[in-house]
Copies of this chain bind each other. A is one copy, B any other.
Amino acid sequence: MASTESLNNTEKDILEAAKKVFVEKGYSGARMQAIADEANINKAMLHYYFRSKDALFDRIVDGAVEIMAREFTPVLSSEGSVMEKVEMLIDGYTKTIIENPYIPIFVLNELSQNADKYQARLKSKMEKTQFFSGFLFQIAEEQQKGILKPVGVDQFIITVMSLLVFPFVARPVFENMLGLEKGQYFEMMENRKALIKEIIHSSLVEKKNI
C-alpha cells in the first residue's frame, strides 16, 4: 500500500519537495514553509494531505523502508552462497540508491538520531529480520567451512557495507574533495560495482586451492 500510485499530483509534489528539504536540512532544520515553497503550493496543503510534519516525515521514511525491503528481502531469502547474494546486493543496492540517493543519508542522519522511534518499526515491519539473521548465520557457516576467510561475521558485514554504502553517504564530501559532479560520481559508482566485488573476493573469500 501507499506506493506512488494513487496519489494526485499535489501529493506527489509535496512528497518530492519534502524528501529534498528533509535530506538537505534534516528533520529539525526542515521548515514546512520551505517544503511548501519547494512544492509551489500553499503551506496549509501540507497539513491537508499529511496532517503534520511528523506524519509527513514518517511517510517518507516508510517509502524508504519499503524500497529497501523490496531490494533486500528477495536476495537474502533466496538460495545461494553468501558471495552470490553479496554480488546481487551490490548490483541491486547500487541501482536502487542511484535512483534514490536520499535513502542512505536518511538512514544515517535521522534514523540514528531517533534510533528508539524507528528501531521498532524496522524490526517489526520487516520479518526480514529473519532473513537477515539467517544471512548472518550463513556467513558464519561459510567462514567455518573455509569458503570465506575467518574474519568474523561482524567484520564481514561491516566491510561489505562500508565498501558499498559509504560512497553514497559521503557523496557530498567526496564530490567536493575530488572535484566531481553528481553525474560523474554516479557513473563512477557504476564502475565501482566490479571493484567492490574484486576487493571482497580477494580479501574476504578463501582462495580455492584445488
Chain A residues with a Cβ under 8 A of chain B: 24-29, 105, 107-109, 111-113, 115, 119, 151, 154-155, 157-159, 161-163, 165-167, 169-170, 172-174, 176-178, 180, 188, 191-192, 195, 198-199, 202-204
Contacts and interface: CB of A to CB of B under 8 A. Distances in A.
A182 B103 CA distance: 25
Nearest to A180: B154
A113 B21 CA distance: 11
User: Number of copies of this chain in the oligomer?
Assistant: 2
Contacts of A203: 198-199, 202-203
Given A162-B162, A202-B203, 9 more contacts: A108-B109, A154-B188, A155-B192, A157-B177, A159-B163, A159-B195, A199-B204, A202-B202, A203-B203
Contact of A166 (B29, B115, B169): B169
